Amino acid sequence: MSLLEYYRFPNPPLRFSHYQRLNTQDKTKLLRGLYKKNKHLVEIYSFSIMPNHYHLLLKQSLNSGIMNFIRLIQNSYARFLNLRYKRSGSLFQSPFKAVRLETDEQFIHVARYIHLNPLTSFVIRDFNDLKSYQWNSYLDYLSFTPRKFINTSFLMNYFKNIEKFEEFTKDNLDYQRKLEKLKHLIIE
């Protein structure tokens, strides 16, 4: 989560590994300064971090923002794991895949897909567990205090209240699980 938040900003003053070594007070001060500048590479609307992949719903705020954001988080994470496990080389099998969304309807359905991904993949089993699954932004939408780096307002504008948002998300779970079972049959 810290990596997503930190590299959302253009030109952070330290490499993430050096930022991580700071004490809590200095980290807070540095982040506060970055937020004060109010510039970011991307807006993060939803995410789900899975055991072997991740999903992000982003909007580019600066030219090449998405490309630079992904490059920074993937390189930083690969360096971290390579050092920790005394390995070398790339960590990710292939370049990231990006799809441009054209409509608001696509936006809300992709957000739902991302939020349901831990359930679809059976990382968690019960819909109620999603409300506390920290590796996903769904809980940010149900909270009065979402994580600062998640923009919840744009998506929530499509729903009258949190209950309607929850209902919209839950209503697609069985269908999405059925699609997941068929996915291996598709040849790309």
Owning domain of residue 150 = 2-185
What is the pLDDT tens value at each position of the chain, 188 positions in all? 899 999 999 999 999 999 999 999 999 999 999 999 999 999 999 999 998 889 999 999 999 999 999 999 998 988 888 888 888 887 776 777 889 999 999 999 999 999 999 999 889 999 999 999 999 999 999 988 899 999 999 999 999 999 999 999 999 887 787 777 666 556 55
Nearest residue to 165 via CA among 121, 128, 111: 111
Total domains present in the chain: 1
pTM of the predicted protein model: 0.88
Instruction: Report the CATH number at residue 29.
Output: 3.30.70
